[in-house]
Structure 1
Amino acid sequence: MQYPSASSPPLHHPVPQHPVHFQQGGYGNPAGAAQSGGTSRQPQAYRNPYAPPQGVQQTAPQAQPSTIQPQGMPNVIPNVPTALNSILSDPNAQLGFEVGRNALNYGQEYIGRNMGKYMDAGAFSYYFQVSNFYVFRKLLLVMFPWRHKPWSRQIVRSDSTGQDTYATPREDLNAPDMYIPIMAFTTYMVVFSIIQGLLGQFHPQLLGIVTSKSLALMVVEISFLKLFSYLLAASSSLLDLIAYSGYKFIAITLVTLAAATSSSLVKWTTFTYTGAATAFFMLRSLRYVLLPESSNSTSTVNSGMRQKRIQFLFIYSFVCQFVFMWLLL
């Protein structure tokens, strides 16, 4: 192999045909580069392709309001007072408001006119004019009605009005009262709560369920009485029907005590006797309250209507009373 001699011509780097410009801040320092043997090539500085051009100040983009609207939504929210005024100014709306106002006024007038006789303090006070002797005798009458006579209510003349009215409960044993039914209902709730507590099964929701169930059955019973009184063309007092429907809670309380302290035989024996006594008491009492025409010699009732009334009294007194008592246990 032959090596080049000293007389060989020197090597030259290729000269670029276009000038090359270097930017400050690149890789390396172009000022410190060696410049021997002609023009030296130095590496070009790195430039971010996504950076803005030099001399241009970059600013943060401003948030633009969205112009996309949901389908079915208006571009502008309506003014609520303006929409309300437009509705109120509509003639059809004004006519509807006027009809509703007249109906409300008529309903208030109707309730005040028809419920006034039931909400009268004097009408309610009549059913609470009782004495201790009356309460004791009435309890015995409800439980032992077999040999009681007579069953007709006494009529007295009022000193203030001069009209004939029924005697108060303390004066007439056959008059209905609300003191005993209310106390019997309350006693039944207390006895039921005590028994459930002794058994470890009491909770407040159970007491509310039993109370609501009892009141609902009473409403059904009174509605049943009023309906058939209307169908049989018989006059009846709503307060009298409420008072008589509450006497069954005396028997229900006794059956509840018998079921908690004795066997099932004693329970159903007590249920049968107290149910029969309450049914007989209701049969004889409602004859003069629900169907007063049957005991009035001046009224004229044909035989067909009288037979229907007797059948209704029997079904309600002996069938419905047992059913309601069984549902309440």
Structure 2
Amino acid sequence: MAYHSGYGAHGSKHRARAAPDPPPLFDDTSGGYSSQPGGYPASGADVAFSVNHLLGDPMANVAMAYGSSIASHGKDMVHKELHRFVSVSKLKYFFAVDTAYVAKKLGLLVFPYTHQNWEVQYSHDVPLPPRQDLNAPDLYIPTMAFITYVLLAGMALGIQKRSPPLFSPEVLGLCASTALVWVVMEVLALLLGLYLATVRSDLSTFHLLAYSGYKYVGMILSVLTGLLFGSDGYYVALAWTSSALMYFIVRSLRTAALGPDSMGGPVPRQRLQLYLTLGAAAFQPLIIYWLTFHLVR
């Protein structure tokens, strides 16, 4: 029995000796993180401390200030290059309109025959903005009329019962680009004519864009009348809007181009200026018809 007791004690001592742990397969890299379970990074307070420490670094402040100066310098360069090609102050002048001006100007474009005074009003040698002078050209009405024409053209082509249908998303882009190209060509032709005729006036590219863009009002009225009353209504509206626009262009451009400074010039030069104005007016009905006749069937 004593031997049995000794064997049991010896066996217990043998089993109490633990085997050595196997070597780890990978090195423990969690020491770089905080002593949180799972080896995750520090909490939000520690991250905020790191950010505040970074912002408090003088080198970081210098880098941020240098980056801000570069961004400000780049912004100034963009504005400078933009002012070289487009004067923002002059562009704002052509959009200085209100509701009363827009309503009166639309009425003048549709029925200009009773209007008497066509001269642009000045105040301290500065032309009054459109909202204060009905004769001042604007770009608000041409811009909105251009967008309306493109949408109306898409609707007119969409309701035409043809096989295959004429309307597609690409049609809107085609109508817009075609109308825009015609206006650009017209403005370039007018600028060339003014240069060749040596006209001394205050007409700028924005003025010519405004006068050329007023045709979209007549185009919209012609298409709407054609959709409501057919081709006969379209041609009646086309004749009315074209004659009204021609009268408006002749009176407006003649007053602007043949100002007091050019009245005392040579007679041949005055004739060239008058022919240029008449040619610009006579070209309007052709463009209106070319851009609208296919929308009314």
Q: Tell whether the structures are fold-level matches, with TM greater than 0.5.
A: yes
Partner of 1:74: none
Partner of 1:194: 155
Partner of 1:209: 174
Partner of 2:285: 322
Find the aligned partners of 1:242 and 1:287 in 2 and give their Cα distance: 16
- Bigger relative CO (Cα 8 Å, ≥ 6 apart): 2
**Structure with the largest fraction of helix:** 2
Partner of 1:182: 143
Partner of 2:86: 119
8 Å CA contact 2:262, 2:270 repeated in 1: no
8 Å CA contact 1:118, 1:239 repeated in 2: no
Residues 118, 288 of structure 1: alpha-carbon distance in 2 compared, 3 angstrom cutoff: farther
Find the aligned partners of 1:306 and 1:299 in 2 and give their Cα distance: 7
Matched, 1:307 2:261: no
Render the CA deviation track for 1:48-106: whole Å, top value 9, x for unaligned.
Answer: xxxxxxxxxxxxxxxxxxxxxxxxxxxxxxxxxxxxxxxxxxxxxxxxxxxxxxxxxxx
8 Å CA contact 1:153, 1:174 repeated in 2: yes
Letter in 2 for 1:124: L
Find the aligned partners of 1:314 and 1:328 in 2 and give their Cα distance: 21
8 Å CA contact 1:117, 1:123 repeated in 2: no
Find the aligned partners of 1:121 and 1:219 in 2 and give their Cα distance: 20
8 Å CA contact 2:94, 2:137 repeated in 1: yes
Find the aligned partners of 2:269 and 2:263 in 1 and give their Cα distance: 13
Letter in 1 for 2:155: I
Letter in 2 for 1:148: H
8 Å CA contact 2:153, 2:175 repeated in 1: no
Find the aligned partners of 2:109 and 2:263 in 1 and give their Cα distance: 30
SS of the residue corresponding to residue 280 of structure 2 reads helix
With structure 2 as the length reference, what TM-score do the two structures score? Answer: 0.66
Following superposition of structure 1 onto structure 2, how do residues 227-238 of structure 1 map, counting pairs within 5 Å? 227-234=192-199, 235=201, 236-238=203-205
Following superposition of structure 1 onto structure 2, how do residues 150-299 of structure 1 map, counting pairs within 5 Å? 150-157=117-124, 164-199=125-160, 200-234=165-199, 235=201, 236-289=203-256, 291=257, 294-296=258-260
Partner of 1:130: 97
SS of the residue corresponding to residue 262 of structure 1 reads helix
Render the CA deviation track for 1:216-249: whole Å, top value 9, x for unaligned.
Answer: 1011100110000000001431111011110000
Letter in 2 for 1:177: D
Identity between Structure 1 and Structure 2 (%): 31
Render the CA deviation track for 1:123-149: whole Å, top value 9, x for unaligned.
Answer: 111011111000000000011000101
Letter in 2 for 1:182: T
Q: List runs of 5+ in structure 1 lacking aligned partners.
A: 1-108, 158-163
Find the aligned partners of 1:240 and 1:295 in 2 and give their Cα distance: 15
User: What's the Cα RMSD here?
Assistant: 1.9
Number of aligned residue pairs: give it.
208
Rg bigger for which structure? Answer: 1
Residues 130, 155 of structure 1: alpha-carbon distance in 2 compared, 3 angstrom cutoff: same
Find the aligned partners of 1:297 and 1:254 in 2 and give their Cα distance: 37
Once the two structures are TM-superposed, the CA of residue 270 in structure 1 deviates from its matched residue by: 0.6
Letter in 1 for 2:168: H
Q: List runs of 5+ in structure 2 lacking aligned partners.
A: 1-76, 293-297
Partner of 1:101: none
Once the two structures are TM-superposed, the CA of residue 315 in structure 1 deviates from its matched residue by: 2.0
Find the aligned partners of 1:125 and 1:152 in 2 and give their Cα distance: 21
Find the aligned partners of 1:299 and 1:257 in 2 and give their Cα distance: 42
Residues 298, 215 of structure 1: alpha-carbon distance in 2 compared, 3 angstrom cutoff: closer
